[in-house]
Structure 1
Amino acid sequence: MSPLLAADEPSNLPDLEILRAEVGSAWSAYQDTKYTRATRLIPGILADAQRAVRSYEGDAQLQAKALLAMAYQGAAMVLTKIGEADLAWMAADRGLGAAQESGDRVVTGSLFRSVAHCLLSNGRLTAARDLVTDSAGYLEDGLPDASPTYVSVYGTLFLVGAVAAARLDDRATVRAFLAEADAAAQRLGQDANHMWTAFGPTNAAIHRISAAMELGDVQVAADQGPRVDSSTLPLERRVRHTLEVARAYSAQNRTDEALALVLDAEELAPEQVRYHFISRHLVTAWVRQQKGKPSHQLAGVAQRLRIVG
């Protein structure tokens, strides 16, 4: 989080276009579930972005601040995935500060999403839900002439908020948030990945399944989840949806089907499955429920996730 910084010599100034590409590489590693690669990349990118902010002036400095914000957001997303909630909060908070200083409303909206994610991960559900409402209000006046990126950032806020509201058993807010997300997705017209949101009709549908599970509507999730075709989305989103369907099947005591989905997900994204709370919770529960020796498949995945019965 506080990398050693090189001297700010003119010959060593970061090129903003190269820095932009580096930030994109870190986000791509996150969406490809290559968390080890992302954690190797991000400290150096943060150092370059911090140096750029100190070294440039005027519009170039504002661009550097926006890139620093997005680098911090990438860090926060990865740290959340690997269970480093406190560090993730620090990264999101610093990123939001840089975003606000940049004056870029889209980047600021994106960092609001990251802060909401961190609040959600830390169990601060009411704060996460309310932040989404406030953040959406901040973005609303830019909607009439909004770009696809702006619409994506706006819409994806409601997906985070819907999960927070569902965990609070606030069904009215879940419905309202999902309706706003659906409207934004329909306005966008297709699945996209503007500013690494993976936002569109499919991601909205995925979050509808997640919200159903959080509300205890297992039958809805089990029926509708397998119908969602997530194949066009980044790997992180596809695997996350697979784990949600596995959770629904497990809740219906369809353990063999659920385990098969977890194993499929692990084959595609071993790092994501190793750290994700759903896969860890499911495998832990299955191991503890065994009356005899667990199956070879279950024992194998439990060992790889370092779960002891």
Structure 2
Amino acid sequence: MRGRTNNLTIGERVAWYRYRRGLSQEVLAGLIGRTADWLGKIENNRIELDRLSVIKSLAEVLDVSLGDLLGEPGLLDWNGDSGTTTVPALRAALMNYRALGPFSGGPETGPSSVAVLRKEVEALWDAYQDSRFAYVTGRLPELLHRAQAATDHHDGDDQDQARRLLGLTYQLAATQLTKLGESDLAWIAADRGLTAVRPTGDPLIIGSLLRSVGHALHATGRYSEAVRLTEDAASYLEPHLKHATPALLSVYGTLFLSGSMAAARANDAATTRTFLAAADHAAGKLGADANHLWTAFGPTNVVIHRVATAAELGDLQVAIDLGPRVDTAGLPMERRVRHALEVARAYSSWNRLDDAQAVLLDAEQMAPEQVRHHFLSRQLALTWVRRQRGKPSAELVGLAQRLKVLD
């Protein structure tokens, strides 16, 4: 499907698949409890379709994946950071049979020391939080190879440390692949990470990886399962919280933030509120914004998720009242830009298109790769173009072209 519907809005993709399934608007709308008039407005871009719970319902009835309607995965552009090595090389690394059995064979120069490997893992996680997606994707295959070699070579405490670092590298792969719309590969990476770190029994790294499993479930529209995972993961971590480090408290709180998004996308407002309250309590105990184990967890991230979950639940009043007032300047770029997309969505839903476009353009300036690879930015830009009664402005056309939704 990649490339065939890149220039369609989500509503237009719904129509495209509906025709292929031989369904009338009346039949498809009835199957999801909506009216044909509503569906007609969706397909003609008169109503924005940006709530994932609704998109998932349509995908299920049309028997397509959530990614098919969102237009994912997108092709990762070659640039100075990536060269000509992107997702296929990472896919090959994840499908390396040596990771499945008792095989050895590290780099010819010998395995990295734990200290060197730790610096490499930290540097690549930092690059991810700076929204340098191509840079991270291009370097993950070799880092996975070196981390696996270190795990195979070392023993004792060094081996446990190498396993933790291998788990964190797999988690980074899962996180990055989710951002790129490669949900199946993200699931493989998260599973491999848990397998690598389980022998250590380290609740901090295991809990961190469980968050990535939740993200992989989100990406495939399995929201109810992601909610259950949040509950199970929290139960696993709770016995370790009596003397929790700030890092463990951050991982615990971030699990609830991820779960709150899953609950909102499952249209479960009560569980969304429960998870946000649990995250808020953890943030209060932490005391301030922090970035332990690259969680960007703290009071500000909790507020960001209040905005995002409100938008998913259709409570645009909360999103528009709270979203623009959140000061994200102290957070990593990835978090700042993700929140900006929510603010742009809220403005657009309230027909404040100039404000919405300004926010999206600012976000693109800060992190062009991240904006390019999120369905919200692509959907917003293309919908704005479609709704123009006259000729779209050069600025809007340029944005849509850079997001690869307009030729």
TM-score calculated relative to the size of structure 2? 0.74
Within the candidate set 176, 190, 196, 1:98 is matched to 196
Does the alignment pair 1:288 with 2:400? Answer: no
**Cα distance in structure 1, aligned partners of 2:338 and 2:105:** 41
**Structure 2 counterpart of 1:59:** 157
Q: Following superposition of structure 1 onto structure 2, how do residues 1-309 of structure 1 map, counting pairs within 5 Å?
A: 1=90, 2-3=92-93, 7-8=105-106, 12-308=110-406
Change (3 A) 1:289 1:9: closer
Question: How many angstroms does 1:189 deviate by?
Answer: 0.3
Find the aligned partners of 2:182 and 2:198 in 1 and give their Cα distance.
24
Q: Which has the larger radius of gyration?
A: 2
1-structure distance, mates of 2:200, 2:142: 21
Amino acid at match of 1:64: A
In structure 1, C-alpha distance between the alignment counterparts of 2:108 and 2:286, rounded to whole Å: 42
Alpha-carbon deviation of 1:11? Answer: 6.1
Residue 102 of structure 1 and its aligned partner are, at CA, apart by 2.4
* Runs of 4+ in structure 1 over 3 Å off: 1-11
Measure, in 1, the Cα distance between the counterparts of 2:230 and 2:307: 19
Q: Displacement, 1:7?
A: 3.9
Deviation track 1:61-106 (CA, whole Å, cap 9, x = no partner) reads 1111111010011111111111211111111111121121222110
Q: How far is 1:308 from its partner?
A: 2.7
Identify if the C-alpha distance between structure 1 residues 285 and 62 changes in structure 2 by more than 3 Å, giving closer, same or farther.
same
SS of the aligned residue for 2:282 comes to helix
| 3-state SS, counterpart of residue 12 of structure 1 | coil
Question: In structure 1, what is the equivalent of residue 74 of structure 2?
Answer: none
Deviation string 1:123-152 (CA, Å, 9 cap, x unpaired) is 010111110000000000111100000000
Aligned residues: 309
Percent identity of paired positions between Structure 1 and Structure 2: 55
Q: Which structure carries more relative contact order (alpha carbon 8 Å, separation 6+)? A: 2
Q: Secondary structure at the match of 1:141?
A: helix
The residue matched to 1:23 in structure 2 has which SS?
A: helix
Seen in structure 2, the aligned counterparts of structure 1 residues 158 and 271 have a Cα distance that, compared at 3 Å, is: same
Partner of 1:144: helix, strand, or coil?
coil
Query: RMSD of the TM alignment (CA)?
Result: 1.5
User: C-alpha distance in 1, partners of 2:214/2:384?
Assistant: 31
Kept after mapping to 2: 8 A contact 1:99/1:111: no
Higher mean alpha-carbon deviation, 198-207 vs 283-292, is at: 283-292
Is 1:191–1:198's contact at 8 Å kept on the other side of the alignment?
A: yes
SS of structure 1 residue aligned to 2:240: coil
In 2: Cα distance, 1:278 partner to 1:101 partner? 39
What is the CA distance between 1:211 and its match in structure 2? 0.4
2:355 partner amino acid? E
Distance in 1, matches of 2:293 and 2:337, equals 20
User: Aligned equivalents of 2:108 and 2:183: distance in 1?
Assistant: 37
Q: Structure 1: any 5+ residue segments left out of the alignment?
A: none
**Consecutive unaligned residues in structure 2, runs of 5 or more:** 1-89, 99-103
Q: Give the C-alpha shift of residue 118 in structure 1.
A: 0.8
Letter in 2 for 1:47: H
Shift of 1:291: 2.2
> CA offsets, 1:256-301, max 9 Å, x none?
1100000000000000000011111111211221222111111000
Deviations 1:167-205 (A, max 9, x none): 111111011100000000010000000000000000011
Partner-residue secondary structure (3-state), 1:139: helix
Paired residue type of 2:136: A
The answer to whether the 8 A contact 1:62-1:103 is kept is no
2:215 aligned counterpart, secondary structure: helix
Q: Which has the higher helix share?
A: 1
TM-score by length of 1: 0.97
